[in-house]
Structure formats: structure tokens, C-alpha cells
């Protein structure tokens, strides 16, 4: 009997739990399922012969219930239910309320030196990931892709990561199903209501990563666009260490050089060439350092693709040419000549950092500027380094906080801002001596600023002594300067005239 026919009639004979690992005895081939957490398991299977050794991350203790139901074995954790059909060993995963997640339609069969099987694409579910690619949209429906990284995220609330080496291909060209071609059946399943939970689970099992380059081999507008899309699509695949080489743009025309500098300056692994890095990049040193623990401990890229940050907004899936820098700033790089582009603002209220203009989200706007388009989200604090100290830009009226990592000590300085009764409260818990300047955007002129003693009003924003404030009536921005000692808790109250 040919190998393909053998694979088509594999039968599960019995199963045996061994702690977090469940071993399945088949009439031919072998299989096992290892629980890593209540949300994550690893499934491996061979079509013939025993399973080889495999290193899985040290799992936490996971309590599961395993039993037999008609025609299948059912395993339940705290969050999900996995069933394996006895005939064919098809894997199906659903939430405990019965909502389907992953669903095998066929069992794996030999395909040359690989194995191939198909899974269901539920109606309305979009699929993202599979590594860097120069696609302007995230959803892979209708595409057949060789996966640079075999990490596939479904908006239905799960992801799959195929752990074995070699070439993987995902074919979404047929309706209602997708085909996986892989060297072997060896994948992790992650349950997560949103991408951030999925990335958190993936971070437990991800292999060591080195810097990976974007597509800037030739300095052209086309390569700049391809690099931007590569970088954002890579971030959606949890690739955390991108690199960008500005040397191909050393001899480019000035406009192209400027746009390449603006993009490259936001990449952690930037090689500046003779083009150099932007002034904005130098303002972000503390910002980037403050996101390193999240990158290390949770596996979040500093570049947050829009579907990562706003999973409930389907329009975000169409815009791989913009991204969030952390949780605070939307960046829409220019990658074509003419100093103009359209960009999408997701849900929320946004402030253009260059003009201080305010926009309501869930709309597309046209931006014309020679600068890098940067928009801050309402309810955030954006820290910006400057030679004179630390600028803290607060965008009310929602409360906000930011934790500044002090690179010399590893401690966190905390800054908080929020409405309070008829005013606002600004707070700094500093772990080092530092000069701070709050910039509170879009507020009326205050009646009083201060702590126990009122602060004095200064005559200009660029010449403010300690414990003074200045109101920019044209921009409706309030500036407050304060020098804070290490260990000091500095609370500033703002009161406003009654309407």
C-alpha cells in the first residue's frame, strides 16, 4: 500500500497522559501533545515510525481533563478543548463555549519530501503573519506564500507556529480552506483573544533571534517602500530585531535621502551610513529603552502593526505602510516623492506632533509635510529627550502613565497624568535627578499651577526656571518645568477657571 494511502487511514488506538505530555498510540506512526500553558500546546506527529527527540520549553504545571468520546479523544484545559479524531487523527480546537478555532479538514499526507494537509478558514476570519513581505495589506487570503517565518495569526482568536526547520508554504487560494506544506507535523497552537496575548504565549517558545535586514539593497523609492512593508509585516510575525542599512541611500537624491533617514532612524538596528540618523531619533533614546523590557519579557515588537494594536478595527488590516511606535505614537512614513500621502487613523483622538492639530479617528486623511508624520494618541504620555532634560507630552483628557527605564540603574521612573475634579494632576516619581518639562496639550489657560506653593508664570517656554509654567495661547498648550530629585514624588495640581 502506498505511503499516502497509509497516512489516510491512520487510527488512534489509545492515549496515555504523562504529566503535561499526552502520548498517542497509532496503528502506524506516532503522535504526542504537550501542554506548555493552559493556552498553548505543541503537537507533533510522524506518518511512519517513532517521534524523534524534541526540546520544549519548561512547561508550567497544566491541569487537563482527557477522556474518550464517540470517535475521538477529548482534552480540556482551563481555556480550550482539543479533540483528536480516532480515524485520521484530525485535530480540532475550540473554546470551552463551543466556538471553533483551529479545524483540520484533512490529515497529513506525503508530498515529495514534505507533508501536506488542509485546515478550515472560518467565515469572516482574517489571517496575518508568515514573515516579512512587501504586501500593503496584512490578510493573506487569496495568496500562496512561502513562509519566511511559519507563524500564522487568525483574528478568530488563535495562532499557529510551525517549529520544525525547513521550507513551509501556506496556500490560501481556495475558498473556505488553506493548505499547509511543511517538512513535518510539528506546531504550537496559541489561544489568545487578541494578538498581544498570542505574542505573550509565543514568547515562551520562540527560538533565539538575531538581527534581520529589511529589503534596502538598492537605494530607490521602490526599495524604501518594500523595506517599510517588510519591517511592518515582520513585526506582525513577532520578529523583534529588524535592521536597516542606510548606506544604499548615501548617493540618493536629497528627498529620497530624507525619507530613508526618517524611516531608518526608527529601526532599532539602524546602520546610518553617511545619511545619518534624524534628530527625532535622538529624542527617542529613553522611549526605546523603556520598551526593551516589554520586548524581552512579552515578545512585543517596538513597532506595533495596526492590527496588533487595534484588533477590532478591520480597516487596520489594509494598512501595512504605517504602524504604532509603542502604544503612544502612530507613524506614517513617506515612501514616494511629493511630500504627500494618505494615512488611516484608527479609533481614538489623534494629535499631529508637528502642527498640534487634532483629528478624530476611524478616518483616512491626507498629510502633506516634509517631516515624518507622527500622531500621538489621546490618553498617552510621550517622553522626548532633549539636551535640557525630559519632555513629557500629555494628551488629555483620558488618564495616562509611562514608565521610564533608567538605563544606568534598571529602575523605573514613573510619570502619571489624569483629570482630577475641576483640574488635572501631574505626578513624577523619579529615580534620578532630572529636569522635566510637562507639555499638556489642548487645555485652557489654568487659574493656578503648583504643589503646596503655587508655581510662577514664565514669559516664554524656552526660558522657564524651575517650578514655573507658561501657557501657549496659540497652541493651547501648557508648559510646566520642574527639577525633581531622585526618590522625590513631585505632584503638580492644575486648576482651571469655572466655565
Q: Is 258 in a helix, a strand, or coil?
A: helix
Residue 289 CB coordination number (10 Å): 13
Indicate the pLDDT class of residue 422, thresholds 50, 70 and 90: confident
Q: Residue 7's pLDDT is what?
A: 46
| DSSP summary character for residue 207 | P
The tens digit of pLDDT for each residue in 250-271 reads 999 999 999 999 999 999 889 9
Per the prediction, the chain carries an average pLDDT of 94
Mean pLDDT computed over 313-322: 97
Q: How far apart are CA 179 and CA 158, in angstroms?
A: 17
Bridge partners for 417 per DSSP: 400, 426
| Cβ–Cβ < 8 Å for 374, 330 | yes
Q: Residue 307's pLDDT is what?
A: 98
Q: Residue 125's pLDDT is what?
A: 96
**Cβ neighbourhood burial of 18 (10 Å; 0-12, 13-18, 19+):** exposed
Spatial CA neighbour of 299 closest among 234, 209, 203: 203
Here the cell at position 342 is 494618505
Q: Residue 214's pLDDT is what?
A: 83
Mean pLDDT computed over 10-15: 94
Indicate the pLDDT class of residue 462, thresholds 50, 70 and 90: confident
Alpha carbons within 13 angstroms on the beta-carbon side of residue 4 total 9
Torsional sign, CA 5, 8, 13, 19: positive
Considering the entire predicted model, what is its pTM? 0.94
The tens digit of pLDDT for each residue in 73-82 reads 999 999 999 9
For residue 378, what are the contacts with CB-CB under 8 A and spacing of at least 6?
348, 349, 350, 351, 395, 396, 397, 398
Q: Name the residue with higher pLDDT: 159 or 499.
A: 159
Here the cell at position 112 is 515529495
Mean pLDDT computed over 435-457: 95
Kindly tell me if the per-residue pLDDT of 84 is higher than 70: yes
Kindly tell me if the per-residue pLDDT of 57 is higher than 70: no
Mean pLDDT computed over 296-317: 96
Query: DSSP letters along 289-321, please?
Result: HHHHHHHHHH---SEEEHHHH-TT-GGGGG-TT
Q: How far apart are CA 138 and CA 170, in angstroms?
A: 14
Residue 422 CB coordination number (10 Å): 12
Q: How far apart are CA 276 and CA 337, in angstroms?
A: 20
Mean pLDDT computed over 23-51: 95
Kindly tell me if the per-residue pLDDT of 208 is higher than 90: no
Please list the helix, strand and coil fractions of the chain in percent, rounded to the nearest 5, in that order: 15, 40, 45
Whether omega for the bond prior to residue 182 falls within 30 degrees of 0, making it cis, is: no
Mean pLDDT computed over 142-160: 97
| Cβ–Cβ < 8 Å for 265, 288 | no
Long-range contacts at 459-464 (CB < 8 A, ≥ 24 apart): 464/437
Q: How far apart are CA 85 and CA 28, in angstroms?
A: 15
Grid coordinates 514664565 are at which residue?
458
Element (H, E) at 271: strand 269-271
Q: Residue 2's pLDDT is what?
A: 41
Rounded to 10 degrees, what is the CA torsion of 452, 453, 454, 457? -140
Q: What angle do CA 465, 469, 472 make, to 5 degrees?
A: 120
Q: How far apart are CA 57 and CA 65, in angstroms?
A: 22
Mean pLDDT computed over 455-469: 94
The tens digit of pLDDT for each residue in 383-400 reads 999 988 999 999 998 999
Amino acid at each position: 500500500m502506498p505511503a499516502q494511502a497509509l497516512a489516510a487511514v491512520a487510527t488512534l488506538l489509545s492515549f496515555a497522559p504523562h504529566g503535561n505530555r499526552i502520548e498517542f498510540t497509532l496503528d502506524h506512526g506516532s503522535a504526542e501533545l504537550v501542554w506548555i500553558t493552559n493556552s498553548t500546546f505543541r503537537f507533533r506527529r510522524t506518518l511512519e515510525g517513532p517521534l524523534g527527540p524534541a526540546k520544549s520549553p519548561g512547561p508550567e504545571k497544566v491541569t487537563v481533563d482527557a477522556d474518550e468520546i464517540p470517535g475521538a479523544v477529548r482534552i480540556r484545559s482551563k481555556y480550550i478543548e482539543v479533540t483528536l479524531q480516532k480515524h485520521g487523527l484530525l485535530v480540532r480546537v475550540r473554546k470551552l463555549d463551543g466556538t471553533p478555532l483551529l479545524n483540520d479538514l484533512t490529515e497529513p499526507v506525503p508530498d515529495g519530501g514534505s507533508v501536506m494537509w488542509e485546515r478550515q478558514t472560518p467565515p469572516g476570519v482574517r489571517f496575518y503573519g508568515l514573515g516579512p513581505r512587501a504586501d500593503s495589506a496584512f490578510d493573506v487570503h487569496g495568496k500562496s506564500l512561502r513562509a519566511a517565518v511559519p507563524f500564522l495569526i487568525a483574528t478568530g482568536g488563535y495562532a499557529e507556529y510551525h517549529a520544525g526547520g525547513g521550507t513551509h508554504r501556506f496556500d490560501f487560494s481556495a475558498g473556505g480552506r488553506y493548505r499547509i506544506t511543511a517538512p513535518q507535523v510539528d506546531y504550537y497552537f496559541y489561544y489568545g483573544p487578541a494578538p498581544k496575548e498570542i505574542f505573550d504565549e509565543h514568547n515562551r517558545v520562540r527560538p533565539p533571534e538575531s538581527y534581520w535586514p529589511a529589503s534596502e539593497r538598492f537605494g530607490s523609492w521602490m526599495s524604501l517602500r518594500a523595506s517599510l512593508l517588510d519591517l511592518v509585516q515582520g513585526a506582525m510575525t513577532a520578529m523583534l530585531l529588524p535592521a536597516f542599512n542606510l548606506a544604499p541611500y548615501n548617493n540618493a537624491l536629497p528627498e529620497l535621502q530624507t525619507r530613508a533617514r526618517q524611516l531608518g532612524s526608527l529601526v532599532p538596528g539602524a546602520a546610518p551610513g553617511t545619511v545619518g540618523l534624524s534628530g527625532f531619533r535622538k529624542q527617542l533614546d529613553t522611549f526605546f529603552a523603556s520598551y526593551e523590557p516589554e520586548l524581552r519579557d512579552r515578545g512585543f515588537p517596538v513597532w506595533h502593526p495596526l492590527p496588533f494594536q487595534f484588533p477590532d478595527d478591520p480597516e487596520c488590516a489594509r494598512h501595512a505602510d504605517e504602524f504604532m511606535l509603542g502604544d503612544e505614537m502612530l507613524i506614517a512614513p513617506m515612501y514616494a516623492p511629493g511630500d504627500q500621502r494618505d494615512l488611516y487613523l484608527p479609533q481614538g483622538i489623534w494629535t499631529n506632533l508637528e502642527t498640534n492639530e487634532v483629528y478624530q479617528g476611524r478616518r483616512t486623511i491626507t498629510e502633506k509635510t516634509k517631516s515624518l508624520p507622527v500622531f500621538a494618541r489621546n490618553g498617552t504620555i510621550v517622553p522626548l529627550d532633549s539636551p535640557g532634560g525630559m519632555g513629557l507630552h500629555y494628551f488629555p483628557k483620558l488618564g495616562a502613565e509611562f514608565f521610564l527605564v533608567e538605563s544606568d540603574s534598571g529602575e523605573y521612573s514613573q510619570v502619571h497624568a489624569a483629570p482630577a475634579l475641576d483640574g488635572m494632576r501631574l505626578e513624577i516619581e523619579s529615580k534620578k535627578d532630572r529636569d522635566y518639562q510637562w507639555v499638556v496639550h489642548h487645555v485652557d489657560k489654568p487659574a493656578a499651577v503648583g504643589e503646596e506653593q503655587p508655581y510662577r508664570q514664565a514669559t516664554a517656554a524656552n526660558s522657564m526656571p524651575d517650578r514655573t509654567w507658561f501657557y501657549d495661547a496659540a497652541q493651547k498648550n501648557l508648559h510646566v518645568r520642574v527639577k525633581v530629585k531622585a526618590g522625590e514624588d513631585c505632584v503638580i495640581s492644575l486648576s482651571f477657571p469655572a466655565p
